[in-house]
Amino acid sequence: MAYRSKSQPAAIATALDTQSVPRRDTVLEVLERELSRSMQGFRIPGSPRPHYMHYALRRTHALRLRAMYGSLTRCRETTQSSLYCDLRVGSRKFDNVLDAGLDNRAEDRESADWVDAPDDLNLAALQVGLWKLSQIKYDEALADYYDHKKAVVAEYLRDEVDAFTKEKPLDHREPLSSRPFPRRVWETNLRELSRRFLDHPNVHDPIVSINAERVHRWMATTEGSRIVTEEVYLEVALSGWVLTDDGVYTEASRELYLRSLDEMPDRAALESMLDELLAELEILRDADTPGAFIGPALLSGQAAGTLFHEALGHRLEGDRLVARDETRTFAHKLGERILPEGIDVYDDPRMEHFNGKTVWGSYRVDDQGVAAQRADLVTDGVLRGFLHGRTPTPHSNASNGHGRHDGLEFPMSRMANLVIESTRGGMTREALEAKLLETARAQGRKEAMIIERIHGGETSTQAYDFQVFKGEPAEVYRVDVETGVKTRVRDVELIGTPLAALQRIIGVGTHSEVDQGYCYAESGSIPVSGIAPALLLSELEMQQSSTTGFHEPLLPPPFADDGSRGRTAGKRGLRRKHS
């Protein structure tokens, strides 16, 4: 399909080179033009008209590199553009969005098939894409509006509030760059680094990878906001698996999450990361598994950040306060104590650095066109607020700049940089470990746990499910209470209920660490950071995570084949855990 408005200037129809920096303000003009046409033209007698529209264009230049055994198994550099349209019919009091949009699944809707934008950003083609997407979005919005009406008649919506906040228009335009990624250097480093695994045939599926993205984003709203931003995300990862004597595949990994090309590690730093990985895999191969555990535990700052993210952070996302299927753990606890005295919690997307390093979850403008703001959540242990996007809640009728999404799903209030601080001083690591043993003795325990790192976690916040969280530790030590000796263990998961776990904090450290990565929720995968000190819990429950046993491959890797075949009774890792 070809389309060009008669009133369209010739400059608007000019194609842009995929490797160049698109003209910032010219792309905005296209968004503005189609917004105006849509708002004026979407009229069906007897049906509600749009009261708000929002266009966003994301252009992502990505480089994906992966290597193993000296070979590049993935080497892809792409430029891809996508569209997003938020179209609301009715009014700010009542529109087509029910349950804060948490039940909207973009992939289930017809509009998901029309989000592609021209990769070269040909501006005439871009306008056609917006036109097509908007038509479908309007039809979907009308259907959702009447579903919302039906719900009002059929159900008692006890927390029904206004539909959409009113925010001041924002004009925020950042310069856009096209600094190339140093692809050849990275390819060479990954090849040479991964070749070292040829000397370690006992390490299975070893991978070293670099993922780099530069995201250019344009946004225009019918309120008058005009936004252009650039974000750079860099991820370096090394991982491998070993098979233990009891037939369990156990993973070790090292990751770096960076926001600037200038922070990328050099060859020597990558070698050091690999040395650490290989050493840890050797330890894990001989480590024991403790099975189930309950007792006192000390969590490092990185592990504590994950605990707070899963047990607290998701439950302070304001959109969950108005969705029917959510349990709303803290909905009625504003002004009440939910943490021990002396602990503050806030989320600040504006924070770009911590301890001299960039943080993964920072941004200047959220995905609903609102400037990033610090949200104070807990002060001295007392709940003071929630994370808010543009969905009003019983506690707020304004966004605090936390509306986020992956570019496809419906935006909702999400974490960015969740910070936990002790306002009354903290304890040294030595003091925390001493109190850990003291607490275990007082409880009559024979052992305690120290969790240094966590791979990730998950939680459920929906009303029909159990209100629990789970974490997957990456580095755990069992501590003998009598001797204080630490022993590395594996194959355990920490589990708990949010309110109980948060009330069992009995010690806070002095030094904070950063936990970074991707967070997955209803509005998609987004980058986040957590900053927290070490925490001592009087009680934490853990369960065994691995139950399936495997035997070693029948043949060794080709590069380590010495001609021998078969298995011998004394050979490592031959017995199965379960017959």
Co-location of 324 and 453 in the same domain? yes
Domain boundary among 178, 212, 231: 231
pTM of the entire predicted model? 0.91
Q: Are 466 and 498 in contact (CB under 8 A)?
A: no
| Per-residue confidence (pLDDT) for residue 572, from 0 to 100 | 34
Dmax over CA atoms of the chain, in Å, equals: 84
When pLDDT is cut at 50, 70 and 90, the band that residue 13 belongs to is very low
Q: Round to whole Å and give the CA distance between 373 and 417.
A: 11
Element (H, E) at 470: strand 469-480
Are both 24 and 152 inside the same structural domain? yes
Q: Are residues 442 and 515 in the same domain?
A: yes
Condensed to tens digits (0 to 9), the pLDDT of residues 473-496 reads 999 999 999 999 999 999 999 998
Looking at residue 550, what is its pLDDT? 84
Burial of 504 (0-12, 13-18, 19+ CB in 10 A): middle
The domain total for the chain is 2
One DSSP character per residue, 517-531 reads: EEEEETTEEEEEEEE
What are 223-247's pLDDT values in tens digits? Answer: 999 999 999 999 999 999 999 988 8
Q: Which residue has the higher pLDDT, 467 or 198?
A: 198
Return the percentage of the chain with pLDDT > 90, whole number.
79
pLDDT confidence tier of residue 343, bands split at 50, 70 and 90: very high
pLDDT at 78 over 70: yes
On whether residue 122 sits in a domain, the answer given is yes
170 occurs within a structural domain: yes
For position 16, what pLDDT does the model report?
A: 38
Residue 6 has pLDDT above 70, yes or no: no
For residue 22, give the nearest of 132, 159, 121 by alpha carbon. Answer: 121
Q: What percent of the chain has pLDDT over 70?
A: 92
Least confident range from 178-182, 185-189, 462-466: namely 462-466
310 shares its domain with 216? no
Residue 372 lies in a domain: yes
The domain in which residue 505 lies consists of: 293-544
CA distances from 109 to 84, 113, 115, 408 (A): 13, 8, 11, 11
Question: 300 and 437 share a domain?
Answer: yes
Angle between helices 24-41 and 123-154 (to 10 degrees): 50
Q: What is the pLDDT of residues 409-426, one digit of tens each?
A: 999 999 999 999 999 889
Would you state the pLDDT for residue 93? 95
pLDDT tens figures, 491-515: 999 998 888 888 999 999 999 999 9
- Do 212 and 80 fall within a single domain? yes
CA-wise closest residue to 402 among 390, 420, 385, 410 = 390
CATH of the domain at 185: 3.30.2290
pLDDT recorded at residue 574: 26
- Let me know if residue 58 belongs to a domain: yes
Answer yes or no: is 83 within a domain.
yes
Residues 391 and 500 in one domain: yes
Q: Is residue 386's pLDDT more than 80?
A: yes
Q: What is the pLDDT of residues 138-150, one digit of tens each?
A: 999 999 999 999 9
d(CA 224, CA 365): 15
Same domain, 431 and 298: yes
**Is 156 found in the same domain as 301?**
no
pLDDT at 439: 98
Does the pLDDT at position 308 exceed 90? yes
Q: Is the pLDDT of residue 275 over 90?
A: yes
Give domain status of residue 478, yes or no: yes
